[in-house]
Chain A
Amino acid sequence: DTGVSQNPRHKITKRGQNVTFRCDPISEHNRLYWYRQTLGQGPEFLTYFQNEAQLEKSRLLSDRFSAERPKGSFSTLEIQRTEQGDSAMYLCASRVPGELFFGEGSRLTVL
């Protein structure tokens, strides 16, 4: 599969626990994005990377959220001390000039 790959696809956790999601972009794409999507809403921008550099972070991203792309290839999104309001679909996308290609997403449920 040469698309954007995300795992795990589903994660159920208890409030207060830490979770980490991984994204493997399309190999030649140097830009990688994280979005969050809740039911009935459009994708909400969180952060993006060009190669290993994190170029922008949304004001919505609290200190509990951190994203990395250490070698400019795959990326991880970690949420510390999860809260029920963090329950959402976390979408990764990658891009060369033009189309943004999304992964299938990682669905987080915080109990």
Chain B
Amino acid sequence: GENVEQHPSTLSVQEGDSAVIKCTYSDSASNYFPWYKQELGKRPQLIIDIRSNVGEKKDQRIAVTLNKTAKHFSLHITETQPEDSAVYFCAASRDNQGGKLIFGQGTELSVKP
């Protein structure tokens, strides 16, 4: 069945360092890959997404890369700040127009000042 694996489950970095979170997916028909940030007690919120027709997308300190052949994608956060501390979820979907998202297990990122 459809599955998304996410690693690591926890990640601790010093402020200013980079953080990388990796995901692999099983459904080769997946073509839309968003990343969500969830702060404690709050709703998940989209931070960046990528579609299968591109290999990389950047938005200020955040970038996502996609390798369709290997079926994996990664989130890169540069110059981390304490407010980046949260749980990050990757997800995959067959249909960027409205199909269901399958989420990874999450990565708890802690940025130490």
Give chain A's interface residues, CB within 8 Å of chain B.
31, 33, 35, 40-45, 48, 50, 56, 91, 95-100, 102-105
Contact = CB atoms under 8 A, between A and B. Distances in A.
A99 B43 contact: no
A31 B105 contact: no
Interface string B81-113: 000000001010000111011111110000000
Contacts of A50: 98
B49 A42 contact: no
Contacts of B42: 104
Contact of B103 (A43, A97, A99): A43
A99 B101 contact: no
Interface residues of B, number: 21
Interface of B: 4, 6, 34, 42-46, 49, 89, 91, 96-98, 100-106
Contact of B96 (A56, A91, A98, A103): A98
B106 A42 contact: yes
A104 B43 contact: yes
Contact of B43 (A33, A95, A97, A103): A103
Contacts of B105: 40-42
